[in-house]
């Protein structure tokens, strides 16, 4: 039986209460808006990507539940200084972790600290909360002018 503690780990509560990299980014050359209509979570991500495709800066703003806030906060920590190619790998690994079979272990080597969010897969209605920020960064990088969704 899964307990609430699997989802609301102390790290997640901590990031909810004091999200890292929260606010606008200056300078910023990519940004996008994400929206989860189910719970009204709204998220804006800002990125500064340099000529060598390295994410030099990343922040987020918005209002959301604990899972979406903590996920965005942890994501910004995880992506700062990483390359776009690296983002793609993390995106895949994160997505896989959030939607994997319950018995699958997250890829700790790739995901590092992000693996604390593995508990969401036990709470199907909350998976999108965790993945929204990743989809939003993806559309920011692609400079899509549409609001990101988790589909």
Partner 1 sequence: MNIEQIRSDFPILDQELYGKPLVYLDNAATTQKPQCVIDAVRSYYEKDNSNIHRGVHTLSERATAAYEASRETIRSFFNAKSTKEVIFTRGATESINLIASSWGRANITKGDEILITHMEHHSNIVPWQMLCEHTGAVLKVVPMNEAGELDMNAFTSLLSERTKLFGVVHMSNALGTINPIETMIKQAHAVGAVVLVDGAQAAAHMAVDVQALDVDFYVTSAHKMYGPTGVGVLIAKEVLLEAMPPYQGGGDMILMVTFEKTQYNDLPHKFEAGTPNIAGVIGFGEAIKYIQSIGLDKIAVREKVLLDYATSQAELFEGLRQIGTARDKACVLSFVLKGVHPHDLGTILDREAVAIRAGHHCAMPVMQFYKVPATARASFSIYNTEAEVDALFAALSKARDMFA
- Where on the chain is the footprint of partner 1 (CB under 8 A)? 1, 3-4, 7-8, 13, 16-17, 38-42, 63-67, 69, 123, 125-126, 129
Q: Smallest distance, Å, CB 1 to partner 1? A: 7
Measure the CA dihedral 121/13/70/51, to 10°.
Answer: -130
Q: In the complex with partner 1, which residue's Cβ is closer, 69 or 107? A: 69
Q: Taking every pair of C-alpha atoms in the chain, what is the biggest distance, in angstroms?
A: 48
Q: In the complex with partner 1, which residue's Cβ is closer, 3 or 105? A: 3
Instruction: Report H helices in 100-145.
Output: 108-111, 127-142
Q: Smallest distance, Å, CB 67 to partner 1? A: 7
Q: Smallest distance, Å, CB 79 to partner 1? A: 23
Measured CA to CA, the distance from residue 24 to residue 33 in angstroms comes to 13
Q: Smallest distance, Å, CB 120 to partner 1? A: 10
C-alpha gyration radius of the chain: 14
Instruction: Report the DSSP beta bridge partners of residue 48.
Output: 57
Q: In the complex with partner 1, which residue's Cβ is closer, 67 or 79? A: 67
């Amino acid at each position: 039986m899964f307990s609430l503690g699997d989802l609301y780990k102390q790290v997640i509560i901590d990031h909810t209460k004091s999200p890292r990299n929260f606010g606008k980014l200056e300078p910023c050359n990519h940004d996008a808006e994400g929206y989860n209509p189910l719970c009204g979570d709204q998220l804006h991500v800002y990125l500064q990507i340099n000529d060598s495709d390295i994410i030099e800066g990343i922040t987020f703003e918005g209002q959301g539940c604990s899972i979406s806030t903590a996920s965005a906060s942890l994501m910004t920590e995880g992506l700062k200084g990483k390359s776009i190619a690296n983002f793609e790998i993390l995106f895949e690994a994160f997505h896989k972790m959030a939607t994997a079979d319950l018995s699958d272990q997250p890829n700790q080597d790739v995901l590092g600290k992000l693996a604390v969010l593995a508990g969401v897969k036990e709470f199907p209605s909350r998976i999108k909360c965790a993945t929204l920020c990743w989809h939003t960064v993806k559309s920011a990088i692609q400079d899509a002018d549409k609001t990101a969704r988790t589909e």
